[in-house]
Amino acid sequence: MSLRDSFNQFAPLSDTIDPAAPFGFQLDLVAIRARELLNKRNEKQITDALDTLSWVLEEGRQLQEQTALNALDDESDRDSYVLTDTNALRLYMPYFDIQGQSSFPNATWPEYFAILALAQIGAAQDESGGDLMKETLSSIGVDPETVTSQREILRLDYLLQATEAVATAELMAEKQSTHQQKSKKGGTRRAAKYDELKSFVFSKWEDSFQHLSNRQAAKKIWPLVPDNLKGLLTTDDQEHRLEEWIGRQKNNIEKNEHREGAAQK
């Protein structure tokens, strides 16, 4: 599962975690800690922030790869460089300006690390493909219980990464000073511009392309994106990224309509 999709089936602030599931109790404790750091946010803000967080990690990938290569050349770095999302995000912080976002106003880095922890927990809840995999293994004579074993190992990995992320968030929140707050500004990659790109896409879709499929709408909108915003997406398939955004926007609208309908009954 892509980190960006972690909240598709998991509501970051409200969904419960089955304590009987592998490492469920421990995952729930991490979720409580992360949600405490996000107690002034709502589900939509956090979901939007996860998309920006994923963008930050993707944009920093080249830096991450270069840092890894440098670590191989530098004996002093070999023991300190660990390839995890939390460590990557910590390395990328100086390169990104997270201020000025309309979808996640007054953003802080501790909040992003807390969201990263919840995203890892959300990914741990994903059970898709398990039954199909068991059927496939059974058909070729392999014990399907190996799926359960592998899933437990994967959930443990998600737990360890979520714990690392929330511990970093708590430490940063505790030690954050006025100087550290100011250091958030001035990064070369501005999250507010990424936010502006998404707003442009949603506006064009709502005005002119709601009648089209997500893919068709994305194909129509991408050529209309201003050049100064196109450079924010370094993915090889920019239209696919727009398609994903439109799909999530549709889901948000449908969820809001469902809530409003339920409230009126």
pTM for the whole structure: 0.69
pLDDT at position 78 is 46
pLDDT at position 260 is 65
Q: Which has more confidence, 186 or 88? A: 88
The H or E element spanning position 40 is none
52/254 Cα distance (integer angstroms): 22
Mean pLDDT over each residue of the chain, to the nearest integer: 81
8/250 Cα distance (integer angstroms): 12
189/193 Cα distance (integer angstroms): 8
pLDDT in tens, 114-134: 999 999 999 998 865 455 445
Q: What angle in degrees, to the nearest 10, is found between the helix axes of 43-59 and 238-264?
A: 170
Q: Which has more confidence, 210 or 144? A: 210
Neighbours of 240 (CB within 10 A): 15
Q: Where are the beta strands (DSSP E) in the chain?
A: 96-97, 189-190
* CA-closest candidate to residue 7, choices 59, 57, 58, 42: 42
CA 63-66-71 angle, to 5 degrees, is 125
> pLDDT at residue 7 above 80?
yes
Which residue ranges make up each domain of the chain?
A: 3-187, 191-265
pLDDT at position 178 is 42
* CA-closest candidate to residue 122, choices 5, 37, 35: 5
Share of the chain above pLDDT 90, in %: 37
**Burial of 111 by CB count in 10 Å (0-12 exposed, 13-18 middle, 19+ buried)?**
buried
